Chain A
Amino acid sequence: MDKRLKRILPKVQKPARYTGGEYNQIIKDKADVDLRMAFCFPDTYEIGMSNIGMRILYGVINKMPDVWCERVFAPWGDMREEMVQAGIPLYALESGDPVSDFDVVAFSIGYEMAYTTVLDMLHLSGIPLKSADRPDLVPLVFAGGTSCVNPEPMADFLDLMVIGEGEEVDCEVLELFRRAKLEGWSKREFLVKAAQIQGVYVPSLYEHSYNADGTLASVTALEGAPERVKKRIIEDMDSVYFPTAPIVPSTEIVHDRVNVELFRGCIRGCRFCQAGYVYRPVRAKSPEIVARQGIELLKNTGYQEATLLSLSSSDYRHLSEACDLMLDWCEPRACSLSLPSLRADNFSMDIMQRLQKVRKGGLTFAPEAGSQRLRDAINKNVKEEDLLHSCKVAFQGGWNGVKLYFMLGLPTETDEDVVGISEIANEVLHTWRENAVNKNRGVRITVSTSMFIPKPHSPFQWEAQVPMEEYMRKVELLRDSIKARNVTYNWHDAKTSFIEAVLSRGDRKIGALIEEVWRTGGYLEAWGDYFDYNRWAYAFETCGIDPAFYANRERGKDELLPWDVIDVGVAKRHLWHERERAYASTLSPDCRKQCTGCGAASLLKGGVCDA
Chain B
Amino acid sequence: MLKLRMRFEKTGRAVYISHLDLMHTFHRVFLRAGYPLKHSEGFNPHPILSIALPLSVGHGSVCEIMDVTLVQDTVDTAQMAVDLNAVLPEGIRVQAPYIPETKASAIKWLRVMGRYEYDGKQAVELIAPLRAFYTCSELPVSRKTKRGEGIIDIAPYVKDVTINADGEDVRLAATVSVNEPTINPELLVKVLQQNDPELAPDFAEFTRLEIFTEKMEVFR
Q: Are the CB atoms of A303 and B28 closer together than 8 Å?
A: yes
Task: Say yes or no: B17 contacts A250, CB within 8 Å.
Answer: yes
B32 touches A20 (CB 8 A): no
Which of chain B's residues have a CB closer than 8 A to the CB of A300?
32
User: Given contacts A16-B17, A333-B36, is CB(A10)–CB(B12) below 8 Å?
Assistant: no
Contact of B21 among A16, A23, A299, A301 (CB under 8 A): A16
The minimal Cβ–Cβ distance linking B105 to chain A, given in whole angstroms, is 28
Tell me the complex Cα distance, A25–B91, Å: 13
The stretch of B73-81, B82-90, B156-164, B209-217 in contact with A is B82-90
- Which listed residue, A1, A15, A16, A301, touches B28 by the CB 8 Å rule? A301
Q: Let me know if A248 is at the binding interface, CB within 8 A.
A: yes
State whether the Cβ of A22 lies closer than 8 Å to any Cβ in chain B.
Answer: yes
**Which residues in B have their C-beta under 8 angstroms from that of A301?**
28, 32
Q: Do the beta carbons of A302 and B58 come within 8 Å of each other?
A: no
Closest B residue, CB atoms, query A20: B13
Give the residue name and chain of the A residue nearest to B86 (CB). Answer: A23
Q: Indicate whether A250 sits within 8 Å of B205 (C-beta atoms), given known contacts A20-B13, A302-B30.
A: no
B57 contacts the other chain (CB 8 A): yes
> Who on chain A is nearest to B90 by CB?
A21
- Shortest CB-to-CB span from B191 to chain A, Å, is 18
A295 to chain B minimum Cβ distance, whole angstroms, is 13
> A357 contacts the other chain (Cβ, under 8 Å)?
no
What separation, in Å, do the CA atoms of A169 and B126 have in the docked complex? 60
Is B16 part of the contact surface with A, judged by Cβ < 8 Å?
A: yes
Which B1-38 residues have C-beta < 8 A from chain A? Answer: 12-14, 16-18, 21-22, 24-25, 27-32, 36
A21 to B16, CA, bound (A): 10
Cα(A3)–Cα(B21), bound, Å: 24
A10 B89 Cβ-Cβ under 8 A: no
Taking CB atoms, residues of chain B closer than 8 Å to A304 are 31
Binding site for A on B (CB under 8 A): 12-14, 16-18, 21-22, 24-25, 27-32, 36, 39, 57-58, 87-91, 117, 203, 205
Interface residues, chain A, with chain B CB atoms under 8 Å away = 1, 3, 6-7, 9-10, 14-16, 18-23, 25, 248, 250-252, 299-304, 333-334
17 A-B contacts, Cβ less than 8 Å apart? A6-B203, A7-B117, A14-B18, A15-B58, A20-B13, A20-B90, A21-B90, A22-B89, A25-B90, A248-B25, A248-B28, A250-B89, A251-B17, A302-B27, A302-B29, A304-B31, A334-B39
Other A-B pairs, 17, CB within 8 Å; known A10-B57, A302-B30, A302-B87: A1-B12, A3-B117, A15-B16, A16-B18, A20-B90, A21-B90, A21-B91, A22-B90, A23-B29, A248-B89, A250-B25, A252-B24, A299-B32, A301-B28, A302-B29, A303-B28, A304-B31
The 4 closest A-B pairs by CB, nearest first: A302-B28, A21-B13, A302-B31, A21-B90
